[in-house]
Amino acid sequence: MTSTERDIRRRLHGAGLRATRQRIELAGLLFGDAHRHVTAEQIHREARQAGIRASLATVYNTLNQFTATGLLREINVDPQRCYYDTNTSHHHHFFHEDEGRLVDIPAEELPVGALPRPPAGTEVRGVEVVIRVATGR
């Protein structure tokens, strides 16, 4: 077993997930050296190219499990497009509409001021800002 696989197994167990073959393989694609913003379709394509056998439904299920356990953040940029972010720290994003690309904005570069009072019986759990940008053509 490689040190990378041991790290992935530890990460999955720490999140309360069993380290199945498919989870290990997909986590290997997701959690490399740098933080990534990916769609399920991108990971599915990368998995196929790497010889990993996983249906698109399995990729979606795995990404949703990783999100539910805090290994990923889900960023919805519109009703048809969802990205998964391997950087789970508090931060915001620029969304390049013409490229379909997310770029991190450190939280300290976008301080969020006074928030409205949340509805009765609820509490604010976080604020995520997505700033849409496009080339001025």
Residue 106 lies in domain:
89-133
Pair 15, 57 in one domain = yes
Q: Which pLDDT value is given to residue 1?
A: 63
Pair 54, 25 in one domain = yes
The alpha-helical segments, DSSP class H, found in the chain are: 3-14, 21-30, 40-49, 56-68
pLDDT less than 70: residues of the chain: 1, 3, 137
Q: Quick one: tokens of 61?
A: 């299920």
Q: Quick one: tokens of 132?
A: 């849409």
The alpha-helical segments, DSSP class H, found in 72-134 are: none
Pair 38, 101 in one domain = no
Give the global pTM: 0.89
Name 84's bridge partners: 38, 74
Q: How far is CA 93 from the centre of its chain?
A: 12
Q: What is the pLDDT of residues 98-137, one digit of tens each?
A: 999 999 999 999 988 889 999 999 999 888 999 999 987 6
Pair 80, 94 in one domain = no
**CATH code of 46's domain:** 1.10.10.10
The structural domain count of the chain equals 2
- DSSP symbol at 36: -
